[in-house]
A = this chain, B = another copy of it.
Amino acid sequence: MRTVLKFGGSSVADVPKMKEIARKIKARQEQGESIVVVVSAMGKTTSQLLELAQTAAKNPSKREVDMMISTGEQVSIALLAMILNEMGVEAVSFTGFQAGILTGGMHTKTKILDIDITAVEKQLNEGRVVVVAGFQGYNEEGEITTLGRGGSDTTAVALAAKLGCRCEIYTDVPGIYGVDPRLYPKAHQLQEITWEEMKEMAFLGAKVMEPRSVDIAQHYGVEIYVGSAHEDCAGTYIRKAGINVEQRSITGLSVADNILMVTLRNLPEDTAPIASLFTRLAKEEINVDMIAQIPMESGGVGLSFTAQAQDQGMLEEVLKEEMSTLPGVTVELEKNIFKLSVVGSGMRTQSGVAAKVFQLLSENDIRFKQVTTSEISISYTLDQAHKEKAVRIIAEAFEL
């Protein structure tokens, strides 16, 4: 049986931690499994390399950023392979290029286009553990590329898809929870969750898995297991819907902090200024979310949307320029907002989830600012002050 195991940066932060995971890999191999291990850079290495790049250039070339940060995983794979070899486990390390991971041409946040699995399969067939550098690949020009945030998960899932096997992601939490336990200590860990639910939760702020890798898993039918790298306890399976999954109305609750909410009032009914605004925001790479528009009594329209707090400076500049030709418009920018989302495939078949949430918030005197819905989720923006209470009452009501 083949398995892809992935260990994140905190699981390979130092040599003693690597020795711990090497022992696990050895035990698995001794049971006859063919093992591919995907590792991230050690601890904070990637951030440190990015800081170094910042000292060299204000706006470092992205090609060169990839050249530099890809060394982080290269050190990890070499160390882990050394440790495995010393334990008597035959192992070889592969960079993204050596593992055949072909990506798009873009730098610092590219996508995997294909994997030529030949070299990895050859080593597996010869009985070796293959240690692959996560997060990195090469483009058609032969340049080193990186996959952006959560890239090592993507490497692991894509390799599992190509090898036709399952993927186990080991991290510093024991599995996926319905609610982040740091927000709601009584949170239940989920035994399983569907790919779709996991993606939605990830999009809406849950940080355990990046939506992109879950997307690949869903597309190729890869079962993912998420568990603790350092504790022996049951984790969570991410796979297609089983019977249990369908019976739940809500699987999880996600929270995204540091949200800005912009409200524009008295906009003309003509959509040109709004189109111009969003085109400009896209050009400046400001991600907007939760766009809502309502007609106003005055005859114009009101528009609100959310953005990330980190983009505040650029956002204010864009708003000032774009609204300068529209004298009647008022611009309001609210900080200290968070987004709370409830996610569940069960929403499709069970009506009343939205109604139940509205009622819970109302009973507890929590006013939400906006609400938007998707097929399997409902998101609210709320004042940061209500965060703890809102999470608790919803988590309790839906037994998350």
Contact = CB atoms under 8 A, between A and B. Distances in A.
B79 A92 contact: no
A28 to B, nearest CB: 20
Given A15-B56, A56-B15, A93-B67, A61 B75 contact: no
A75 B49 contact: yes
A290 interface: no
A61 B82 contact: yes
Interface in A49-75: 49, 52-53, 55-61, 63-65, 67-68, 70-71, 74-75
Nearest to A55: B15
Contact of A64 (B18, B52, B60, B78): B78
A53 B81 CA distance: 11
Contacts of A142: 98, 119
A60 B77 CA distance: 13
B67 A86 contact: no
Interface in A260-282: none
A85 interface: yes
A209 interface: no
Nearest to A14: B55
- Interface residue tally of chain A, by bracket? 35 or more
Interface in A61-112: 61, 63-65, 67-68, 70-71, 74-75, 77-79, 81-83, 85-86, 92-93, 95, 97-98
A79 B56 contact: yes
B79 A68 contact: yes
A30 to B, nearest CB: 19
A18 B55 CA distance: 11
Nearest to A83: B56
Nearest to A59: B86
Chain A interface, >50% SS class? helix
Contacts of A63: 81, 92-93
Interface string A362-376: 000000000000000
B60 A67 contact: no
Contacts of A85: 57, 60-61, 64
Interface-centre pick from A52, A65, A77 (highest chain B CB count, 10 A):
A52
Interface-centre pick from A15, A18, A57 (highest chain B CB count, 10 A):
A57
Interface of A: 15, 18, 49, 52-53, 55-61, 63-65, 67-68, 70-71, 74-75, 77-79, 81-83, 85-86, 92-93, 95, 97-98, 119, 142-144
Closest A-B pairs by Cβ, 10 of them: A68-B78, A71-B71, A57-B86, A67-B78, A60-B82, A57-B82, A64-B78, A64-B82, A56-B82, A61-B85
17 contacts: A15-B52, A49-B75, A52-B75, A53-B78, A56-B83, A57-B82, A58-B86, A61-B82, A63-B92, A64-B82, A65-B78, A67-B93, A67-B95, A68-B75, A71-B74, A74-B74, A97-B97
